[in-house]
Amino acid sequence: MAKRVDKEQRQAELLEIAIEVFAKRGYQATTMDEIAEQAGVSKGMLYIYFKNKEALFGAVFRWFGKMTEEVMQGAIDDTKDEVEQIRRITAAWAEVAIRHREFVPLFLDFWAAASVHGMRNDYAEDLATMYDEYRTMIIGIIERGKVRHIFKSDVDAEAIAYLLVGGMDGFFIQSWLSQPNNLNTLMFNATESLLQGIITT
Closest CA to 176 of 89, 109, 115: 109
Maximal CA-CA distance, the chain: 63
| C-alpha–C-alpha distance, residues 93 and 72, integer Å | 7
Half-sphere exposure in the Cβ direction for 194 (13 Å, CA): 24
Give the CATH superfamily of 1-51.
Answer: Homeodomain-like (1.10.10.60)
Spell out the domain ranges in the chain. Answer: 1-51, 54-198
Q: What pLDDT, in 10s, does the model give residues 129-139?
A: 999 999 999 99
- 50-70 residue pLDDT tens: 999 989 988 988 888 899 999
Q: How far is CA 126 from CA 80, 119, 177, 186, in A?
A: 30, 11, 24, 29
The whole model's pTM is what? 0.85
Residue 4 has pLDDT above 70, yes or no: no
Q: What is the pLDDT of residues 82-118, one digit of tens each?
A: 999 999 999 999 999 888 888 888 888 887 777 765 5
Q: Which CATH superfamily is domain 54-198 in?
A: Tetracycline Repressor, domain 2 (1.10.357.10)
> Which tens digits make up the pLDDT trace of 26-40?
888 999 999 999 999
